[in-house]
Amino acid sequence: MAAANTSVHRAVVEHLVRQSVYQRLGKPLPQTASGPNPLVVNLSARHCHLTQEAVEILFGKGHQLQVHKWLYQEGQFAAKETLTLIGPRSRVISNLRILGPCRTLNQVELSYTDGIALGFELPLRSSGDIKGTLGCMLMGPAGFFEMEQGVIRALRHVHMNPVDADYYGVKPGDFMKLKIGGDCGLSLDRMLCRVDKSFKLEIHIDTDEGNACNLQPNTPCELLK
């Protein structure tokens, strides 16, 4: 992994500009902008996480995932490599993006719209909690890999640093609400708090949620307890 994320997220720039403008005007920041860190809301398109073992079966012995694009969380990236997923009813999703680095389990995260296209019901799970879920077949250029379980819809969640959790007054496992504005705005309930000191404040919603409200980079968002 070479040079990390060089482009700065719009929300980070806005946060800095807002803080500096209010300070210069000598005014207190509005409640929604006074947090220690900018609120970044990102749309997670369908993707999978793989073990190094699965990567080697799919892409060849010794293969290492290549960085296509760095993500907002430190060290996380969208890989150049994509896969073909074959569902339990033989229906297919092509160009399934792999996120790196490799993990200790294999997991595919799809939207309910994807589940309907594949013809089966996805369980709603927190990432990593895959026991008893359905599996699928993955096809790469070097071979097939049968995932026995791990196909889920990921529960909407917010990554938080302990500093953010303190600011919002929540603890790991709590649920918050995300209010999204715009012409077809909505509020998402049951936004799971995941707290770790390696995390940057970031919300992940899936494509169904993002398309329901037409989430754009400049859509106003507010995280509420």
Residues of this chain that bind its own copies (CB under 8 A): 111-113, 116, 124, 155-156, 183-190, 206-209, 211-212, 214
Question: Which CB atom, from 50 or from 122, has the smaller least distance to its own copies?
Answer: 122
Q: At its nearest, how many Å lie between its own copies and the CB of residue 75?
A: 28
Q: At its nearest, how many Å lie between its own copies and the CB of residue 177?
A: 9
Q: Please tell me the distance from the alpha carbon of residue 207 to that of residue 215, in angstroms, as a whole number.
A: 9
Q: Please tell me the distance from the alpha carbon of residue 27 to that of residue 21, in angstroms, as a whole number.
A: 9
Q: At its nearest, how many Å lie between its own copies and the CB of residue 126?
A: 11
Helices of type H across 26-150: 52-59, 112-118
Question: Which CB atom, from 128 or from 181, has the smaller least distance to its own copies?
Answer: 181
Q: At its nearest, how many Å lie between its own copies and the CB of residue 215?
A: 10
SS3 of residue 24 by DSSP: helix
In which residue are the tokens 């999703």 written?
93
Question: Which CB atom, from 46 or from 49, has the smaller least distance to its own copies?
Answer: 46
Question: Which CB atom, from 82 or from 161, has the smaller least distance to its own copies?
Answer: 82
Cα 49 to chain centroid, rounded: 11
Q: Which of 190, 19, 211, 212 is nearest to 203 (CA)?
A: 190
Instruction: Name, in order, each residue with C-beta under 8 angstroms of 3's C-beta and a sequence gap of 6 or more.
Output: none
SS3 of residue 17 by DSSP: helix
Q: At its nearest, how many Å lie between its own copies and the CB of residue 209?
A: 4
Neighbours of 51 (CB within 10 A): 15
Question: Which CB atom, from 142 or from 186, has the smaller least distance to its own copies?
Answer: 186
Q: At its nearest, how many Å lie between its own copies and the CB of residue 123?
A: 10
CB 44 within 8 A of CB 152: no
CB 204 within 8 A of CB 156: yes
Question: Which CB atom, from 187 or from 218, has the smaller least distance to its own copies?
Answer: 187
SS3 of residue 58 by DSSP: helix
